[in-house]
């Protein structure tokens, strides 16, 4: 299959009649799959009402079939077609954070959604992305669109069209290239079927932001302690992994450099993930900055690109600095620790 790449560079003039959008929407309606940018990461979309279409997502990604997909919508009216029992706090979250990087897990209604989307669960994750291309495409397609991140399963999520192309060229019908995504980590997934909303995956909307609107928000035990099965099936898989193993080192620059020196002495070529503030402090085979520690949003935006860049470098091991868990730091550390398979060295 030849993968078409449509480049959209005049975002301010975007409308549903833009030829690339119309063409991609047509392909979605024909039950083929298309990648598109959202404000978080690129998604791989398919008509959520069609088994045939959704199956193609799992095939293209090599995704385990027990991992449900997020349904994307352009207008709140579409919710009526496939969810019920929206609690009051969920209405508040929708009012405040949609369109935006927040996925609500709600009670599924009826049988219009393909069972493959929900992986047999009686709940469904749904969000309205905050990106002009995504919204125009969803509106024009006029069906809810199931869309996981548009990477091969296990790889870092794509924040640029070139990442999607690298992973999925020849396996999907097309990619809409709208440049780099903004947030850089995926949406927050929040379970709204419980009395108190529960974060299943930290992401672009922070716990603190939601608590300011709805009061208490809890966090799935599996995110806090080891040994609990996650309520979000996708959270149990190894993810975001570059080819070289990753180790997170939590300590002073001096301590981090000692670890680098130790590995290099053993003959390993070490890559380092650091920040603008510290990039001149480290000596290693390759040092890459993923943003400013003083502004963690910049780190979220570039983390996956930096993980992917190391696949183009000749390194045997990647050592990453650690980040504080507050705000978007919770999502950054969740992804880094997954990339590292939980390998952490802490300075005593």
Which residues of this protein are in contact with Mg ion, per CB under 5 A? 149
Q: Rounded to an integer, what distance in angstroms lies between the CA atom of residue 117 and that of residue 278?
A: 43
Among 16, 67, 107, 292, binds ligand TXA (CB under 6 A): 67
Contact characters 142-161, ligand TXA, x per CB under 6 A: -----xxx------------
| Residue 23: C-alpha distances to residues 158, 220, 240 (Å) | 22, 40, 31
Which residue's CB is nearer to Mg ion, number 149 or number 297?
A: 149
Among 25, 35, 40, 335, binds ligand TXA (CB under 6 A): 40
Look up tokens 């030849």; give the residue: 2
Which residue's CB is nearer to ligand TXA, number 20 or number 63?
A: 63
Q: Rounded to an integer, what distance in angstroms lies between the CA atom of residue 214 and that of residue 192?
A: 12
Which residue's CB is nearer to Mg ion, number 75 or number 238?
A: 238
Q: Rounded to an integer, what distance in angstroms lies between the CA atom of residue 237 and that of residue 233?
A: 8
Which residue's CB is nearer to Mg ion, number 34 or number 260?
A: 34
CA nearest neighbour of 100 among 177, 213, 6: 213
> Minimum distance from CB of 104 to ligand TXA (Å)?
10
> Minimum distance from CB of 342 to Mg ion (Å)?
18
Which residue's CB is nearer to Mg ion, number 110 or number 154?
A: 154
Cis peptide, bond prior to residue 322, ω within 30 of zero: no
**Count of residues for the chain?**
348
Q: Rounded to an integer, what distance in angstroms lies between the CA atom of residue 242 and that of residue 234?
A: 18
Give the one entry of ligand TXA, Mg ion, none that residue 201 binds, where binding means its C-beta sits below a cut-off of 5 to 8 angstroms depending on kind. ligand TXA
Which residue's CB is nearer to ligand TXA, number 182 or number 245?
A: 182
3-class state of residue 115 by DSSP:
helix
Measure CA 125 to chain center.
Answer: 14
Which residue's CB is nearer to Mg ion, number 22 or number 337?
A: 337
Structure token digits, residue 281: 């402090």
DSSP letters, 119-152, are TT-SEEEEE----HHHHHHHHHH-S-EE--BSS-
Q: Rounded to an integer, what distance in angstroms lies between the CA atom of residue 109 and that of residue 123?
A: 8
Among 69, 319, 328, 330, binds ligand TXA (CB under 6 A): 69
Look up tokens 């620059």; give the residue: 253
Q: Is 189 in the site for ligand TXA (CB under 6 A)?
A: yes
Q: Which residue is nearest to ligand TXA (CB)?
A: 234
Give the one entry of Mg ion, ligand TXA, none that residue 306 binds, where binding means its C-beta sits below a cut-off of 5 to 8 angstroms depending on kind. none
User: Which range touches ligand TXA (CB under 6 A), out of 12-20, 84-92, 186-194, 275-283?
Assistant: 186-194
CA nearest neighbour of 236 among 115, 106, 119, 114: 119
Q: Rounded to an integer, what distance in angstroms lies between the CA atom of residue 190 and that of residue 235?
A: 13
Which residue's CB is nearer to ligand TXA, number 69 or number 287?
A: 69
Q: 223 to 252, contacts with ligand TXA by CB under 6 A?
A: 231-235
Which residue's CB is nearer to Mg ion, number 47 or number 149?
A: 149
> Minimum distance from CB of 12 to Mg ion (Å)?
29
Among 46, 54, 70, 83, binds ligand TXA (CB under 6 A): 70
Look up tokens 């219009």; give the residue: 112
Among 47, 103, 289, 302, binds ligand TXA (CB under 6 A): 103
Among 124, 168, 217, 315, binds ligand TXA (CB under 6 A): 124
Q: Is 107 in the site for ligand TXA (CB under 6 A)?
A: no
Q: Rounded to an integer, what distance in angstroms lies between the CA atom of residue 94 and that of residue 76?
A: 9
Residues 326-345 as b/e (b if ≥16 CB within 10 A, e otherwise) read ebbbbbbbbbbbbbbeeeee
Site for ligand TXA, rule CB under 6 A: 38, 40-41, 43, 67-70, 101, 103, 105, 118, 121, 123-125, 129, 147-149, 186-187, 189, 200-201, 231-235
């Amino acid at each position: 299959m030849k993968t078409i790449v449509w480049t959209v560079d005049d975002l301010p003039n975007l409308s549903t009649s833009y030829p690339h959008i119309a063409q991609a929407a047509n392909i979605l309606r024909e039950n083929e799959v298309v990648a598109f940018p959202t404000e978080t990461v690129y998604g791989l979309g398919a008509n959520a009402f069609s088994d045939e279409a959704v199956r193609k997502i799992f095939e293209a990604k090599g995704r385990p079939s027990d991992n449900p997909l997020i349904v994307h919508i352009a207008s709140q009216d579409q919710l009526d077609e496939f969810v019920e029992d929206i609690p009051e706090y969920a209405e508040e979250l929708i009012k405040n954070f949609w369109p935006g990087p927040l996925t609500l897990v709600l009670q599924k209604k009826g049988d219009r959604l393909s069972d493959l989307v929900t992986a047999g669960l009686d709940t469904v994750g749904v969000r309205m992305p905050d990106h002009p291309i995504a919204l125009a495409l969803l509106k024009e397609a006029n069906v809810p669109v199931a869309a996981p991140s548009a990477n091969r399963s296990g790889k870092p999520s794509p924040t640029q069209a070139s990442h999607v192309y690298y992973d999925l060229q020849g396996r999907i019908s097309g990619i809409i290239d709208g440049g780099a995504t903004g947030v850089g980590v995926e949406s927050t997934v929040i379970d709204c079927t419980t009395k108190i909303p529960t974060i299943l995956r930290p992401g672009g909307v922070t716990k603190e932001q939601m608590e300011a609107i709805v009061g208490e928000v809890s966090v799935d035990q599996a995110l806090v302690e080891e040994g609990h099965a996650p309520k979000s099936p996708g959270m149990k898989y190894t993810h975001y992994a570059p080819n070289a193993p990753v180790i997170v080192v939590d300590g002073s620059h001096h301590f981090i450099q000692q670890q680098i020196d130790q590995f290099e002495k053993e003959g390993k070529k070490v890559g380092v993930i650091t920040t603008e503030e510290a990039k001149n402090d480290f000596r290693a085979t390759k040092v890459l900055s993923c943003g400013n520690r003083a502004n963690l949003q910049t780190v979220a935006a570039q983390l996956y690109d930096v993980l992917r860049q190391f696949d183009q470098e000749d390194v045997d091991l990647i050592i990453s600095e650690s980040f504080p868990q507050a705000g978007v730091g919770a999502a950054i550390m969740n992804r880094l620790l997954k990339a590292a398979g939980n390998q952490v060295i802490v300075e005593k």
